[in-house]
Amino acid sequence: MGPTSPAGDLRVDDALPPWRAGAFAVFAVIGLGVSLRLLFGSASSLISEIRDGYHLGSLEVALLTTGPVVCLGLGASVAPRLARRFGALPVAAGCMALLTVGSALRAVPGWPVLVVGTVIGGLGIAVANVLGPVLIRLLFPHRIGVMTGLLTALICVSAGIASGITPPLTRAFDGSWRLGLGVWALPALIAAAAMGVLAVAHGRGLRRDAGTGAGSPIPVAVVTRAGANRMRWAITGFMGLQSLLAYATVAWLPTIYRDRGVSADEAGLIFSALSVASIVTALTVPVIATRLRSQSTLAVAVVALAILGLLGVLCTGTAGAWPSAVLVGLGQGGALSLALVLMNLRSASAAEATALSAAAQTVGYLVAAIGPVAMGVLHSVTDGWSVPLIALTATMIPLAVCGVIAGRPGLGTTAEHDVTDGAPDHRAPIHSSSARPNP
């Protein structure tokens, strides 16, 4: 008998050869990771051009930078219901198709069309964000750390790549910044195609809870109600505050350096350096986290890197722009990857991971939406960037506190077990080429 899919009701080789299914699974994760932040990064380095092109005021600019983040919070709450009804892969494929349409609309002239396209893309990202950790758990149950690192690294670097490449692309399109924005629909289209192939091949097999048998050998704490609530709020706070840091820097870091006399190209490259640096911690932190009983010290370490970087942005001006951006990137990549892996480490099943991911990202992204707006308001009031940067740095303290709490495996613990609940795992990950069931 051939290996089964993570849902256990359809053998992989009944639909696709295992190697081909594995290739599509990897391609789906890569496409998802690349696509989730392009909507934000591509616009961050063109804020001045968009503002001048449509004669926008501060409120409209804030809507453009913060609206998608609000969509992330509002749209995340529906992800569990959609996944239960239609299956994780079909819903994720639909989200990528939605993002493709939204991104393409931004190439169409007109401020209302730009807003509509941004909102449509933001809603697609909202649900896909929640399903990211769940897809990893379902497709790669024995490679959660590695694949979470890969997903996070791609999320982090994609915004920087878009920020750095969009200005040159705009020039290549004869100065059309609209086409410079619209071209980023292509990665989402590729991701939608890869996920669509898997969804069609495996029907709705991934819809059911993977906790009925398949899972990762990573130990997960079973917690009491009080401990679980505290842990969930800590993960939610950690997710929200690290997202606040990420979206505040995406929205304003290039602008901060442009206001200091740096060209648009160099400002985009500085932000790209931040994103590239985040790859290091995005790849390593999840692997380290899955090997540790407590992730509290790891949380403090990544937050400390972010604090050092923000202080560098505040105090060193353009002279320290590059090392400061690198430090912020190291902190961001580590914090995001740790938030995502904690959702799996503190969940006993895919259904529980979906619920925790949805709750954390619903509240978390609504918190994150405050960041860009608050920094913009503080900048307008103080006519400078010192106060906004100090305020952003101050939010790192509660971020560290949430990380310490979420990283404690013994919080309310009554027992500890494998995510398979002690039952034999008779299912193989979708990418497995083994013909034997996993022990």
The tally of domains found in the chain comes to 1
pLDDT exceeds 70 at position 223: no
The reported pLDDT for the residue numbered 413 is 38
pLDDT exceeds 80 at position 4: no
In this predicted model, what pLDDT tens digit does every residue of 249-278 receive, in sequence order? 988 898 899 889 888 788 888 988 898 898
| 31 inside domain | yes
| 3-state secondary structure at position 416 | strand
Residue with tokens 């292509």: 186
Please report, rounded to a whole number, the percentage of residues in the chain having pLDDT higher than 70. 82
| 439 inside domain | no
Short-list 252, 234, 205, 189, CA closest to 44: 252
- At CA 65, angle to CA 341 and CA 193, rounded to 5? 55
Q: How confident is the model at residue 228 (pLDDT cuts 50, 70, 90)?
A: low
pLDDT exceeds 50 at position 279: yes
Higher-confidence residue: 15 or 54?
54
The reported pLDDT for the residue numbered 136 is 85
Short-list 159, 120, 136, CA closest to 35: 159
| 87 inside domain | yes
pLDDT exceeds 70 at position 98: yes
For 200: left if phi > 0, alpha if psi spans -120 to 50, otherwise beta; the answer is: alpha
| Beta strands at 413-418 and 219-223: parallel, antiparallel or unpaired | antiparallel
Q: What is the mean pLDDT of residues 187-216?
A: 64
CATH of the domain at 184: 1.20.1250.20
Q: Which residues contact 304 (CB under 8 A, 6 or more apart)?
A: 331, 400
Q: Which residues contact 115 (CB under 8 A, 6 or more apart)?
A: 63, 64, 67
Given a contact cutoff of 8 angstroms between Cβ atoms, the answer to whether 439 and 14 are in contact is no
Higher-confidence residue: 221 or 24?
24
| 43 inside domain | yes
Longest dimension (CA), the chain: 69
As a whole number of angstroms, the distance between CA 336 and CA 262 comes to 28
The reported pLDDT for the residue numbered 412 is 38
| 3 inside domain | no
As a whole number of angstroms, the distance between CA 421 and CA 418 comes to 5
**0.75 exceeded by the pTM?**
no
In this predicted model, what pLDDT tens digit does every residue of 123-180 receive, in sequence order? 899 889 888 888 888 778 778 888 888 888 888 778 777 877 888 888 888 888 888 8
The reported pLDDT for the residue numbered 424 is 34
Residue with tokens 């968009």: 50
Which residues are registered as beta bridge partners of 222? 415
Short-list 279, 305, 250, 297, CA closest to 43: 250
Beta strand residue intervals within 106-214, DSSP E: none
Query: What HEC string does 57-113 produce?
Result: CHHHHHHHHHHHHHHHHHHHCCHHHHHHHHCHHHHHHHHHHHHHHHHHHCCCCCHHH
Mean pLDDT of the chain: 79
Short-list 236, 315, 312, CA closest to 277: 312
What sign does the dihedral 254-265-100-106 (CA atoms) show? positive
Q: How confident is the model at residue 301 (pLDDT cuts 50, 70, 90)?
A: very high
| 217 inside domain | yes
Exposed, middle or buried, 53 (CB in 10 Å: 0-12/13-18/19+)?
middle
| 310 inside domain | yes
Short-list 76, 79, 97, CA closest to 88: 79
Please report, rounded to a whole number, the percentage of residues in the chain having pLDDT higher than 90. 27
Residue with tokens 């906790």: 211
The reported pLDDT for the residue numbered 321 is 93
| 423 inside domain | no
Q: How confident is the model at residue 245 (pLDDT cuts 50, 70, 90)?
A: very high
**Domain range enclosing 331:** 13-413
pLDDT exceeds 80 at position 423: no
Q: How confident is the model at residue 58 (pLDDT cuts 50, 70, 90)?
A: low
As a whole number of angstroms, the distance between CA 60 and CA 180 comes to 20
Q: What is the mean pLDDT of residues 403-428?
A: 52
Q: What is the mean pLDDT of residues 382-402?
A: 95
Q: What is the mean pLDDT of residues 348-377?
A: 80
As a whole number of angstroms, the distance between CA 82 and CA 90 comes to 9
